[in-house]
Amino acid sequence: MAKILIINPVIREDDEPKHIPYGLALLASIAMGQGHLVQVYDENAWRKGDEVIAKVCQADCWDAIATGGLTTTYRSIKKILNICKANAPEAFVIAGGGFFTSMPHEMMRWIPEIDLGVIGEAFVTWPEVLGKIDSKDFDFSRTLGVCYREGNETVLTGVRPNIKDLDRLPYPAWDLFPLDIYFRNSALSLSEVAFRSKRRMDIMGSLGCGMVCKFCWHLGTTGDMIVDENDEGKKDVRFTYGRNIRYFSPRYIVEMVKTLVRKYGVDFVYFIDENFMTMDMASGRTWLKELCECWIKEGLQPMSRRQGLPDEENEGGVFWSGTSHAGLAYRDILDLMYRAGCASLVYGTESFDPEILKNLGKGVNQRQNIDALKTCMDSGIVPIPNIMIGFPEETFKSIRTTIEWMIKLGIHSKPHFATPYPGSEWYYTYKDSIIEQYNGDLEAFIKELGDAMKLTAVISHNFSPLQLLGLQQIVMQRDLRLLDLAEKHWGEAGTLTKTIAEPRNSFNIIKRKIQAPIEGQKERNNPNHVNR
């Protein structure tokens, strides 16, 4: 069987490693389940640097070295793969995940060490690729969901259909990661119970989100991606409003958490789902209810919630948290979630300005944003409202509205900057402007991307980088006096200044629903114009 080295790249260099990489752990588990020989080196956890990565590459004769992650890991991945190829030149290098899926051809060009890239969902593609490597078959022209090299060209195959039943997936191979390091960083500042956590682990309950927020992207894993020929006749990825939303059964999730309690003594689990609460709606309001009931029935409910005691007095059980949506804050389900141990919910509040919300694709208005936070707080669950500034339509008026509501609702936030991450509608809409802002060097932009606290490319039609940096500070200070003063000394873009960001249409984004393939779907419905 193939001998595989999986390397987890560094994410958020300035922060402690807090999250076991769920995707890589799952792929390691799938590979072992197929009988392959697998080793994991977690550079994000260890952070031992280049020399140790080189030693890792020399530790054995690897048939394949694999890595992957979000776009924000790009810098780390590029460096790691450079070291890999120099120290294990015979190994076949595979990359995948969001960083690759959003721009496969560019990634193959920028990282020449990559032999094969996997796009979108890898649950089926990954073991198929490993099987081929094991049998020394390096012809990937008939393998769905990959990008391979052919001479100086890079070739993309068709989209791999999503699997239909998530419950068939094995548990991630947690044991292959340095859990002590992650447990040391268990505490999260999201709520009092999360802050006290000593043994937190992440789990995934679902894949997908039905919303079409312009800043967001679904990694090509949720029925949001097709492959089509562009104007030059080259196959490329296209992202759409189509979705294949799937969730694990409540029984699967609860059994997994029971395993985590038994094996590792976890006291807190963090649902890394793209949007946990939207599954309530996607399931016809059954899934979350069943999950909470099963959680309680199987004894995972924290004792404090069962007995109505303060959480400070809790002993036993598992608290949890996840992501939510302001349009789905129903008191009945929030009450049940609280009883089951839900400690906090992250809301993508983004802004309180009605016009910005209207243009954002979130499907919420100002009133819903306000009410959701109150309803959530009333249920006992701590809401975490994320705030963002620098929207294309941002004005002093919209910033003022957001600050006023932050004051009224008691929100303290250093806001994210609206950032056009690759794959998002914003990215394709402003790609030309981004390239111009980086003097023609798109890779320089990708290298800079972090978690949007740092200003990278500007997509605001009205504000310059200088102004946005100042506005971030003013929002953080919730200082309306400074905001008024700033507005008095500001020149409208197009008069005194030039607009930095200008929208355009793009081949890579289709602003309508197109059904991407899923297992069991009839071929005639498949929109991918690809050779099979």
Partner 1 sequence: MEDNLLKGNFEVKKPIKLGDQEKEKSVGEELKKRALGTLGGSMVYMERKHFTWDGDE
Which residues would be at the binding site for partner 1 (CB under 8 A)? Answer: 3, 5, 14, 32, 37-41, 46, 48, 52, 55-56, 58-61, 175-180
CA–CA gap between residue 467 and residue 462 (Å, rounded): 9
Distances (CA, A) of 348 to 238, 277, 357: 25, 12, 11
CA–CA gap between residue 28 and residue 23 (Å, rounded): 9
Query: Closest CB to partner 1 among 127 and 210?
Result: 127
Measured N-to-C along each axis, helices 287-297 and 250-264 cross at an angle, to the nearest 10 degrees, of 40
Q: How far is the CB of 65 from partner 1 (least distance, A)?
A: 12
Q: How far is the CB of 34 from partner 1 (least distance, A)?
A: 11
Q: How far is the CB of 198 from partner 1 (least distance, A)?
A: 16
DSSP, collapsed to helix, strand or coil, labels residue 425 as helix
Q: How far is the CB of 408 from partner 1 (least distance, A)?
A: 28
Query: Closest CB to partner 1 among 38 and 204?
Result: 38
Q: How far is the CB of 282 from partner 1 (least distance, A)?
A: 36
Q: What angle do CA 25, 203, 222 make, to 5 degrees?
A: 80
Query: Closest CB to partner 1 among 59 and 485?
Result: 59
Query: Closest CB to partner 1 among 415 and 527?
Result: 415
CA–CA gap between residue 199 and residue 186 (Å, rounded): 6
DSSP, collapsed to helix, strand or coil, labels residue 249 as coil
Q: Are 106 and 445 in contact (CB under 8 A)?
A: no
Ordered alpha helix ranges (H), 341-395:
354-360, 366-379
User: What is the largest distance, in Å, between two alpha-carbon atoms of the chain?
Assistant: 70
Query: Closest CB to partner 1 among 21 and 327?
Result: 21
Q: What angle do CA 110, 465, 366 make, to 5 degrees?
A: 105
Measured N-to-C along each axis, helices 480-488 and 396-409 cross at an angle, to the nearest 10 degrees, of 170
Q: How far is the CB of 41 from partner 1 (least distance, A)?
A: 5
Dihedral angle of Cα 475, 481, 484, 488, to the nearest 10 degrees? -120
Ordered alpha helix ranges (H), 34-178:
43-46, 50-58, 74-87, 98-101, 104-110, 125-134
CA–CA gap between residue 320 and residue 194 (Å, rounded): 8
Query: Closest CB to partner 1 among 56 and 207?
Result: 56
DSSP state of 328: G
Q: How far is the CB of 311 from partner 1 (least distance, A)?
A: 29
Q: How far is the CB of 35 from partner 1 (least distance, A)?
A: 10
Q: How far is the CB of 470 from partner 1 (least distance, A)?
A: 16
Q: How far is the CB of 175 from partner 1 (least distance, A)?
A: 7
List strand residue ranges (DSSP E) for 296-449, in order.
Answer: 319-324, 342-350, 382-389, 416-417
DSSP state of 163: P
Query: Closest CB to partner 1 among 3 and 289?
Result: 3
Q: How far is the CB of 414 from partner 1 (least distance, A)?
A: 13
CA–CA gap between residue 500 and residue 245 (Å, rounded): 36
Q: How far is the CB of 265 from partner 1 (least distance, A)?
A: 16
Query: Closest CB to partner 1 among 171 and 338?
Result: 171
Query: Closest CB to partner 1 among 38 and 269?
Result: 38
Query: Closest CB to partner 1 among 12 and 289?
Result: 12
Q: How far is the CB of 261 from partner 1 (least distance, A)?
A: 20
CB-based contacts of 389: which residues, under 8 Å, 6+ apart? 351, 399, 402, 415, 416, 417, 418, 468, 471, 472, 475
For 390, phi then psi, to 5°, come to 95, 20
Query: Closest CB to partner 1 among 60 and 229?
Result: 60
Query: Closest CB to partner 1 among 178 and 361?
Result: 178
Query: Closest CB to partner 1 among 55 and 504?
Result: 55
Ordered alpha helix ranges (H), 15-93:
22-33, 43-46, 50-58, 74-87
